[in-house]
A and B are shown apart, each in its own frame.
Chain A
Amino acid sequence: MAGDNDNTNTAVEAVGGGDGKKVSRRAFVVGSGAALAGGALATTAHAAAQTTEAPKIQKAVYPRSTKYLVYDSMHCAGCLGCMLACSLVHEGVTSLSLSRIQVHRSVLSKYPLDMQQNVCRQCPDPLCVDNCPTGAAHVSAENGNIRMIDEAKCIGCQTCIKSCPQLPHRTIWNPAKKKSTKCDLCVNTPFYNKKGGPGGAQACVEACPRNALKVVDEMPDQADHRGVAQNDTAGYDRNLQPPAPKMPFGFGPGAKPKGKTGAKPGAKPDAKPDGAPDAKPAPEGKPAASAAPAN
């Protein structure tokens, strides 16, 4: 599907498309996490985690989004600057919970399994749109076919959240407003000093100090999309780093690693600057599944 110029998708592709053969980094995380689920201690003061219902079968055919937010989890610093920028320009506050891009890091886990960046995929077959009973979740023709939620029409039923096939879901609940919301690539940003949206700027991309976010035109590979869990490695999680400059004094990616355990930044043999449409293969020396985060 990636690179396909046909601007529509069919129901069949949406639920079962792709070759399904690639085992992604993400699949490791999910797999090992599931194995540990039974061992997790019962929640104490906190309410149980929200569950995600299985997505429904796609009913309609939608035009594809013209823009997609992609990311580079191997170079993300986990600074959460993108999240704070997102909530700032949309809501006028900084908030980790209201951000429509979600980054979280398990600081005691091994690289690269320590990082998760969860962005809205602007799905070719948007179940959030498809299942919304009021039309609040819609494909916005005037904004490059971005999947958006019209706050005025949202009745807070959370159907779009339950429908999101990604884990964790990318549609966001705003408990204060009792409305759902989602990434609109900065179309509705009353607190932004720039014009956002498909032809404009995106606050998260601007804020990122590590070149770990980018908006691209071409639909990323959806191959691993199974509708039950995020497998973003396929097309969204990619190397976005510019070619490494020559650094003086032995610093930088060109430098020889120090000793046996010296970091080997940028050591991915597949490292291609952005624009590379193909999926990011597993990193070299990928840790075994047992090295996945413990909780």
Chain B
Amino acid sequence: MGTPGFGGKLLVVNLTTKEIIRLDSQEYEKYGGGHGTATALFWEFCVKPGDWDLQDAFDPHNMVSLTVGAMAGTGTPASARTSVSGMSPQCYPIQWFCHSNFGGMFSTMLKMAGWDGVAVIGRAESPVYINIVDDKVTIEDAKSLWGLTTWECQEEIWKRTGVRFGQEWWKLDGGYSLQRPQIVTMGAAGENMTRVASLVHGGGSGAGQGGFGGVFGSKNLKAVAVMGTGSIKIADPKGLKDAREWWDKTWPRGGGFGGFGFGSPGEVTSCCVGCGIPRFCHNRTRVHSKDSDDCAESTWYTLEDRQVPTEVNQRGTDICQQHSINAMETCFMGPMTFDTSHNPSFPIQPKIPAYSALGWYMKKMYDMGVIGPGTKFDTSPLPMEEYGSRNFMEIYGYAIANRVGIGNLLAEGTARFCEKLGRTDDFSTLCRLTMWGFMDHWSMPGVEWAYGNLFDSRDINNHDMSLGRKNGITCEQFVNIMAKRTPPTEDPFWFDYSWEGEQAYKTGIYSEHKAQWVAWHQHYWNYYKESVGFCDWGYSQLYNQAHKEGFGHTPEIEPKYLNAVTGRNHTFEDGLEIGRRAWNLKRAIFVLQGRDKKMEKFTGYYYKPGASYCGYAKELTVYDGSKWEWQNCNELYFTVEGVEKFKDHFYKVEGWNVDNGYPTRKTLEDLDLKPVADTLQSKGKLG
């Protein structure tokens, strides 16, 4: 019997050899489950054999994995994420090892079937799907599923089971159920191996960033379906209920869960298993768009200069989900614009869209005459004269997903589209891409998000900071609360956003204090979010106005839930250490893929006025050498010198060589990663 809370087994399927490998998941628990475990599996199966160059995400050697942590299926709120990991075809210029995640019921069902993850390597000769029914795993023919949308595919697999919704109990080999299989799949965008393909589960859950739908496509893998009739052992059932009740009482619901508790009892939400937090990620009443009501898809077709009717927008959500198109990467501009007119040197005037992603950039190129009829890049089949119409949107989605006409270029994602046009300078002007080809996404002026993007491989998409002005509390009181909630260091200067002059180096954004905070933040999410499965909308939470002392539920609730489920006696810091281990293992993979200190540079616009125009927190906590105050940091931008100084601090904090950014033997061995140090040494890449 494995550790309570875990399914106990990991599944690796080799589609080339049709081998089905069962591993004991307990041996991987030191990596945390979820993404941490996936990182270890990637090391084991893709790096250790040393038989390929780790460059092409569509190479059959690549592994795509769906892994879960201890919390999935335990009924705790905001904890049912499934992590998706593997080398990403979306990352640019190198297709880094990367991650994404999705919610819904998949993680719970996987656990009920007794698995903590399923990882896939190789490539099937013809389309297949993986069918997991409790302990039984089969590779099924999916020729007749190929070409179906994500919704059709799920309906078809349900039909194959012969089970009809709500009719009668389903008898399987090991047990009974009224549920149907939970499925993750992709549509045309995945089948055609676009770099902007998501994985879709249910009506509106999806893993967009990373392009893992295309990795499924490259493996001829249409779907993974799982049906479980088992159970998850809970070490301390009463303790788990106590923890939940303590949480409910201490942080009343609607009192700002992740800052998004704006729901009301009358709304008709739907959510991941065990959650029910009124953030309204999904809505049962959506007529067109099935289940989804979340931001990226529902604002996909938001345009700069015209109002798109709601129903057209909702159809846009459908398009993204049915074709499995990454809405974030391909959207038009996002729901907001920001004023730039006060800075005439800024390249986008007079206002800048929240996201200048592929749709927006394509239109800009058309308006500038770079693409379009008569140019080197014809825009066919896009009816540019109908831009803004539903018809245009339908064709745009179809063309990308099926690589038709200019859709073939757009399917490569924004960074590679720019490259094809010969306009890589646009990365740091019009496109505002982060350093690894992802669209900027509120990453400034909250620099921990920007730095996270720099040292990781994607837009880290962490919404957990809420540093803006708070009512009824001074700035100094606020940073002291934040410090108390970030053990073990408890340093208020972690939250100093001084960005000009000496202070920026002493305690501000280039200081060692900030480096420690960024490291804490990375270790936190590597374990608690991406590996354990806690949702970004709820975790971490350092401050909460609903609490009498302003405390958020971090760092208390995470170990309370985890220990009740697993029976361990872990402290919050033990979790951070597991996150650090997984993070260092990932760093070693990056290094073998080509990462070094020289590469870790922001794109140009981060170093210029305007870098923070689209930030989600304008007012930040600033220490001027004598006192704390909230200051408008709308103008915050980096200097090259400052960032280089910061990198030195950060590498030191992480135990990486400050000259090249490689992890040192001591760091790796302290984390019980000696074989990793040996591999790096054999490649001449040990720090």
A42 to B163, CA, bound (A): 9
A71 to B632, CA, bound (A): 49
Indicate which residue in B167, B270, B314 contacts A105 across the interface (CB closer than 8 Å): B270
Given A94-B75, A193-B241, answer yes or no on A211-B265 (Cβ-Cβ < 8 Å): yes
B168 lies within 8 A of chain A by Cβ: yes
Instruction: Give the nearest-CB partner of B203 in chain A.
Output: A107
In the complex, are the beta carbons of B105 and A97 less than 8 A apart? no
A39 to B112, CA, bound (A): 29
In the complex, are the beta carbons of A259 and B310 less than 8 A apart? yes
Given A79-B271, A112-B284, A261-B314, answer yes or no on A33-B164 (Cβ-Cβ < 8 Å): yes
Contact partners of B231 in chain A: CB under 8 A? 87, 91, 93-95, 97-98
B173 CB, min distance to chain A CBs, angstroms: 7
Given A209-B253, A241-B265, answer yes or no on A33-B230 (Cβ-Cβ < 8 Å): no
Contact partners of A241 in chain B: CB under 8 A? 265-266
B165 lies within 8 A of chain A by Cβ: yes
A102 to B60, CA, bound (A): 41
| Total number of residue pairs linking A and B with CB closer than 8 Å | 268
Q: How many residues of B contact A (CB 8 A)?
A: 87
In the complex, are the beta carbons of B162 and A41 less than 8 A apart? yes
B419 lies within 8 A of chain A by Cβ: no
A256 CB, min distance to chain B CBs, angstroms: 12
In the complex, are the beta carbons of A49 and B168 less than 8 A apart? yes
Q: Which of A5-13, A57-65, A113-121 contacts B (4 or more CB under 8 A)?
A: A113-121
Instruction: Give the nearest-CB partner of A114 in chain B.
Output: B284
Interface set, chain A 251-266, CB cutoff 8 A to B: 251-253, 258-266
| Chain A 15-51 per-residue mask, 1 if CB under 8 angstroms from chain B, else 0 | 0000000000000011001001100111111111111
A193 to B268, CA, bound (A): 30
A85 to B276, CA, bound (A): 14
Instruction: Give the nearest-CB partner of B202 in chain A.
Output: A107
B179 lies within 8 A of chain A by Cβ: yes
Contact partners of A169 in chain B: CB under 8 A? 168-169
Indicate which residue in A96, A209, A253, A261 contacts B287 across the interface (CB closer than 8 Å): A261
B273 lies within 8 A of chain A by Cβ: yes
Indicate which residue in A42, A192, A242 contacts B241 across the interface (CB closer than 8 Å): A192
A52 lies within 8 A of chain B by Cβ: yes
User: Which of B138, B160, B253, B266 has most A Cβ within 10 Å?
Assistant: B266
Interface set, chain A 199-257, CB cutoff 8 A to B: 203, 206-211, 241-242, 244-245, 247, 249, 251-253
In the complex, are the beta carbons of B178 and A168 less than 8 A apart? yes
In the complex, are the beta carbons of B161 and A44 less than 8 A apart? yes
A101 to B267, CA, bound (A): 23
A9 to B392, CA, bound (A): 64
| Chain A 99-133 per-residue mask, 1 if CB under 8 angstroms from chain B, else 0 | 00010111111111011101000000000000000
Contact partners of A45 in chain B: CB under 8 A? 131, 133, 136, 138
A6 to B136, CA, bound (A): 53
B159 CB, min distance to chain A CBs, angstroms: 5
In the complex, are the beta carbons of B265 and A109 less than 8 A apart? no
In the complex, are the beta carbons of A50 and B163 less than 8 A apart? no
Indicate which residue in B154, B179, B268, B272 contacts A104 across the interface (CB closer than 8 Å): B179
A115 CB, min distance to chain B CBs, angstroms: 7
Given A49-B167, A102-B178, A253-B264, answer yes or no on A89-B159 (Cβ-Cβ < 8 Å): no
Given A37-B164, A46-B162, A50-B168, answer yes or no on A252-B177 (Cβ-Cβ < 8 Å): no
A154 lies within 8 A of chain B by Cβ: no
A223 to B363, CA, bound (A): 61
A121 CB, min distance to chain B CBs, angstroms: 16
A141 lies within 8 A of chain B by Cβ: no
Contact partners of A47 in chain B: CB under 8 A? 171-173
In the complex, are the beta carbons of A115 and B284 less than 8 A apart? yes
Q: Which of B232-240, B368-376, B520-528, B576-584 contacts A (4 or more CB under 8 A)?
A: B232-240
| Chain B 481-510 per-residue mask, 1 if CB under 8 angstroms from chain A, else 0 | 000000000000000000000000000000
Instruction: Give the nearest-CB partner of A84 in chain B.
Output: B75
Given A84-B274, A92-B237, A207-B75, answer yes or no on A116-B266 (Cβ-Cβ < 8 Å): no
A157 lies within 8 A of chain B by Cβ: no
B45 CB, min distance to chain A CBs, angstroms: 27
A210 to B263, CA, bound (A): 11
In the complex, are the beta carbons of B290 and A108 less than 8 A apart? yes
A95 to B73, CA, bound (A): 8
In the complex, are the beta carbons of B237 and A191 less than 8 A apart? yes
A77 lies within 8 A of chain B by Cβ: yes
A156 lies within 8 A of chain B by Cβ: no
Given A95-B112, A96-B112, A209-B77, answer yes or no on A251-B165 (Cβ-Cβ < 8 Å): no
Indicate which residue in A30, A97, A114, A261 contacts B175 across the interface (CB closer than 8 Å): A97
Indicate which residue in B77, B171, B172, B238 contacts A193 across the interface (CB closer than 8 Å): B238
Contact partners of A206 in chain B: CB under 8 A? 245
B229 lies within 8 A of chain A by Cβ: yes
Interface set, chain A 173-194, CB cutoff 8 A to B: 173, 175, 191-193
Main SS at interface, chain B? loop
User: Which of B178, B244, B314 has most A Cβ within 10 Å?
Assistant: B178
Given A97-B176, A106-B165, A175-B176, answer yes or no on A80-B108 (Cβ-Cβ < 8 Å): yes
Contact partners of B232 in chain A: CB under 8 A? 93-95
In the complex, are the beta carbons of A208 and B276 less than 8 A apart? yes
B53 lies within 8 A of chain A by Cβ: no
Instruction: Give the nearest-CB partner of A102 in chain B.
Output: B178
In the complex, are the beta carbons of B273 and A80 less than 8 A apart? yes
Given A167-B167, A207-B75, answer yes or no on A253-B234 (Cβ-Cβ < 8 Å): no
In the complex, are the beta carbons of A44 and B165 less than 8 A apart? no
In the complex, are the beta carbons of A244 and B73 less than 8 A apart? no
User: Which of B202, B274, B291, B314 has most A Cβ within 10 Å?
Assistant: B274
Contact partners of B162 in chain A: CB under 8 A? 40-44, 46, 48-49
Contact partners of A207 in chain B: CB under 8 A? 75, 244
A200 to B335, CA, bound (A): 48
Contact partners of B177 in chain A: CB under 8 A? 96-97
User: Which of B136, B158, B263, B285 has most A Cβ within 10 Å?
Assistant: B285
B286 lies within 8 A of chain A by Cβ: yes
B151 lies within 8 A of chain A by Cβ: yes
Contact partners of A211 in chain B: CB under 8 A? 265
A295 lies within 8 A of chain B by Cβ: yes
B338 lies within 8 A of chain A by Cβ: no
Given A168-B168, A253-B264, answer yes or no on A94-B234 (Cβ-Cβ < 8 Å): yes
Instruction: Give the nearest-CB partner of A203 in chain B.
Output: B241
A268 CB, min distance to chain B CBs, angstroms: 10
A224 to B624, CA, bound (A): 72
A293 to B177, CA, bound (A): 18
Instruction: Give the nearest-CB partner of B291 in chain A.
Output: A107
In the complex, are the beta carbons of A49 and B169 less than 8 A apart? yes
B262 lies within 8 A of chain A by Cβ: yes
In the complex, are the beta carbons of B171 and A259 less than 8 A apart? no
A74 lies within 8 A of chain B by Cβ: yes
Contact partners of A259 in chain B: CB under 8 A? 309-311
B72 CB, min distance to chain A CBs, angstroms: 10
B577 CB, min distance to chain A CBs, angstroms: 27
Contact partners of A281 in chain B: CB under 8 A? none
Given A79-B274, A94-B234, answer yes or no on A168-B268 (Cβ-Cβ < 8 Å): no
A88 lies within 8 A of chain B by Cβ: yes
User: Which of A52, A79, A98, A242 has most B Cβ within 10 Å?
Assistant: A79
A107 to B270, CA, bound (A): 9
Instruction: Give the nearest-CB partner of B278 in chain A.
Output: A209
Given A49-B170, A107-B203, A108-B290, answer yes or no on A78-B264 (Cβ-Cβ < 8 Å): no
17 A-B contacts (beta carbon < 8 Å): A30-B166, A33-B166, A37-B164, A46-B133, A49-B168, A77-B269, A80-B108, A80-B274, A85-B241, A92-B237, A93-B231, A97-B230, A106-B180, A108-B154, A108-B290, A209-B253, A252-B267
Sorted from nearest, which 6 A-B pairs have the closest CB atoms? A209-B276, A259-B310, A95-B231, A84-B75, A253-B266, A266-B266
Q: Taking A41-B160, A261-B288 as given, write out 13 further A-B residue pairs in contact, using a Cβ cutoff of 8 Å, ordered by the A residue number.
A: A29-B165, A36-B164, A49-B162, A50-B171, A85-B241, A88-B237, A92-B237, A93-B231, A106-B180, A118-B178, A168-B178, A259-B311, A265-B285
